[in-house]
Structure 1
């Protein structure tokens, strides 16, 4: 905004400036009126010099005033720019935000498509569940076909006779006559235990779920004429 005092000053001096400018032009053209007092041409020369100085002074004053006005305009522009930045927006009024449009109501065909899509998801889920069930059933069938792991144990038995006169060959034969599902006899040998007495050391493999050590002891010691006792010398899981 321009300084009102500066504007008033320029306006007041304008008429004087125009008059002095007109007189100066007349002097240059040689049409300026001559003065009637003493001095003659000397007075006219003095007047011309005075007018010239006056015009130059007015021109300088006018230039200074213009410079002041330009500086003030620049200052006002800088102030406006700073205020705009501080307010976080432009000096122009903010444009009104457009009112958001309401979404158009879906057509009947779109609703039908949505319903079909939902139904498709259900069908996909049912199909996936069916495939999963089939795979589980196939896995269970495959698993059932595999032979179950049978827990087995390897035993080394010490079978002791009554005395040194016991027929050890017959004792082994009687022991091997003990048969049962899950029992398999292995190698056997006679091991001296002192005073000419030998014990029968025989190996067997049993299925843990079918044969117990108690069963073996009961059956072997049941050969009363030949067997005094039975001990388990070694027991290993297979």
Structure 2
């Protein structure tokens, strides 16, 4: 015979399902071990849950309170992270943050800078042109004095000391007469010096004579050519034994 309650919509297992829901939430929160952890199956775990309605209500309230506390802590942490990210973007000048503003100048420094900028502006003209003219005048005076001093200073005359070997035409040539002939050559910038006879061979002696010449006025090669041309009957050749700049 069928039960008269089969046609009714009464929830006869409400207490059992409430106890199972409470046990499930407790397992999720970690305050209750599962049936598998206790060595039994989930059915055994469910059957071991307390069946009292009051205990289930207390457990649910505790879970809801803990859930609210966790959510509050998570919200606070999110807010703190967002705040830190905002500061980092500001400091690094990131695209998502506002660039850091330059520190405002102190009033005294700003005033000093304004004074400097004002000093660069010459409203009534300056004495720069007059100073430049004065400097140019002093420069020209110093240049003039330098050139005058340089013009009064005697120019350095380049001179050379030369020793010539004059060889006679033959062994009968009078070398004293040859010396007198050479000294008869007068030329601007030519000064005759000491002379001596130096033996060559077979009783022949050459005349070695020193001269001092001004390089700009006397050419040694021209002098040698003049001696051989003018005194060719007495002089065979003229050689340069020494040549020194003075």
TMscore range, shorter length? 0.5 to 0.7
1:82 aligns with 2:81: yes
Q: CA RMSD in A?
A: 3.9
Shift in Å, 1:157: 0.9
Residue by residue, what CA displacement relative to the aligned partner does 1:64-102 show, whole Å, maximum 9, x if unpaired? 97776565444323212211332335xxxx8xx9xxxxx
Match of 1:128 among 125, 131, 135: 135
Q: 1:155 to 1:86 in 2, by over 3 A?
A: same
After superposition, the Cα gap between the structure-2 partners of 1:78 and 1:156, relative to the gap in structure 1 and judged at 3 Å, is same
Number of positions where the alignment pairs a residue of Structure 1 with one of Structure 2: 168
Task: Mark the CA change 1:67 to 1:127 in structure 2 (over 3 Å): closer, same or farther.
Answer: farther
CA 1:126–1:229 in structure 2 vs 1: closer, same or farther (change >3 Å)?
Answer: same
Instruction: State the alpha-carbon separation in 2 of the partners of residues 115 and 218 from structure 1.
Output: 81
Write the distance in 2 (CA, Å) between the matches of 1:204 and 1:188: 9
Which secondary structure does the structure 2 equivalent of 1:143 belong to?
Answer: helix
How far residue 115 of structure 1 moved from its aligned partner, in angstroms, is 4.6
Distance (Å, rounded) in 2 between the aligned partners of 1:127 and 1:73: 84
Given the alignment, which residue of 231, 236, 239 partners 1:231? 239
Hey, what's the Cα distance between the residues in 2 that align with 1:67 and 1:123?
90
Larger RCO, structures 1/2 (Cα 8 Å, 6+ apart): 1
Q: How does 1:1-238 map to 2 (within 5 A)?
A: 72-87=71-86, 88=89, 114-117=122-125, 119-221=126-228, 222-238=230-246
Q: CA deviation at 1:177?
A: 2.3
For 1:13, the equivalent position in structure 2 comes to none
Work out the CA distance in 1 between the residues paired with 2:218 and 2:245.
Answer: 13
The 2-side partners of 1:70 and 1:125 are apart by: 84
Distance 1:116 1:178 in 2: 79
Structure 1's 115 and 186: CA in aligned 2 closer, same or farther, altered over 3 A? farther
SS in 2 for 1:179: coil
Distance 2:124 2:155 in 1: 49
Q: What CA distance in whole angstroms lies between the structure 2 residues aligned with 1:130 and 1:138?
A: 12
Structure 2 distance, partners of 1:138, 1:61, is 113
Corresponding residue for residue 12 of structure 1: none
Q: Deviations over 1:8-50 (max 9, x none)?
A: xxxxxxxxxxxxxxxxxxxxxxxxxxxxxxxxxxxxxxxxxxx
Q: What TM-score results when the alignment is normalised by the length of structure 2?
A: 0.53
* Residues 178, 219 of structure 1: 8 Å contact kept: no
**Aligned equivalent of 1:28:** none
Deviating more after overlay: 148-157 vs 131-140? 131-140
State the secondary structure of the residue aligned to 2:155: coil
Listed one character per residue, the Cα deviations across residues 164-183 of structure 1 (whole Å, up to 9, x for unaligned) are 33222222122122222211
Cα distance per residue 1:127-146 (max 9 Å; x no partner): 33333333333333333333
